[in-house]
Amino acid sequence: MINWKKIKSEVVHQNPFWIYRQDVFEVEGCESPRDYYYVETPGSVMVVPLLSDGRIVMVQTYRCLQNKYSVEFPGGAVKDGQTFEQAAHRELQEEAGLTTADLINIGEFCPFNGISTELCRVYLARGLEKVAAENNPQEPMELMPRRIDEIENLIKHNQIWDGQSLAVWALVQPHLTRDL
């Protein structure tokens, strides 16, 4: 096992969404200390909204870095002072115009291990009710309710290419087949 000992940490840049850090480590077997750059975040959430007819609500939004539309599960950042569950409720309302009292924590994963401290918690939402969506004009959303087979077909044909949504799908599938 390689031992890493942090000897220095500093903030390189900070914005409202995350902190860029540079840490310096002494690494066993290395002659000189090693720099390590990464992004620190409070975390994120993704919600899989399950409608009473068995369809799942996905959203389509434009992603400027790839210059194309992306089909995803509703989700986003945990804001300072929020719990993961509070963030899940907020994102469900903002992006899908839905609310629920039945939010189930399915699991969590690191979306960009080695580059970010971000931990994404995944929720299944049932017993949904419509509410006013609070769409951000910079991130317009189109609702896309889909059956399980339709989602699998979108994945198969590379029409769902968002890494977080693919990871969420892998985590939530066993719960969907059991619940439907």
Contact 74, 44 (CB under 8 A): no
DSSP string, 28-64: TT-SS-EEEEEEE-S-EEEEEEB-TTS-EEEEEEEET
pLDDT of residue 7: 96
**What is d(CA 45, CA 63) in angstroms, rounded to the nearest whole number?**
18
* Domains, the chain, ordered by start: 4-40 (no CATH), 44-179 (3.90.79.10)
Pairing of strands 34-40, 19-27: antiparallel
Q: What is the pTM of this model?
A: 0.91
Mean pLDDT for back-to-back runs of 10 residues, the chain (180 residues): 90 94 94 96 97 96 93 95 96 95 96 95 97 74 94 96 96 77
Q: Which of helix, strand or coil describes residue 124?
A: strand
Q: How far apart are the first and last CA of the chain?
A: 44
DSSP per position, 68-95: EEEEE-SEEEPPTT--HHHHHHHHHHHH
Strands of the sheet with 56-63, listed across from one edge: 68-72, 56-63, 142-146
Residue from 119, 84, 116, 118 nearest 103 by CA: 84
Please tell me the predicted confidence (pLDDT) of residue 180: 46
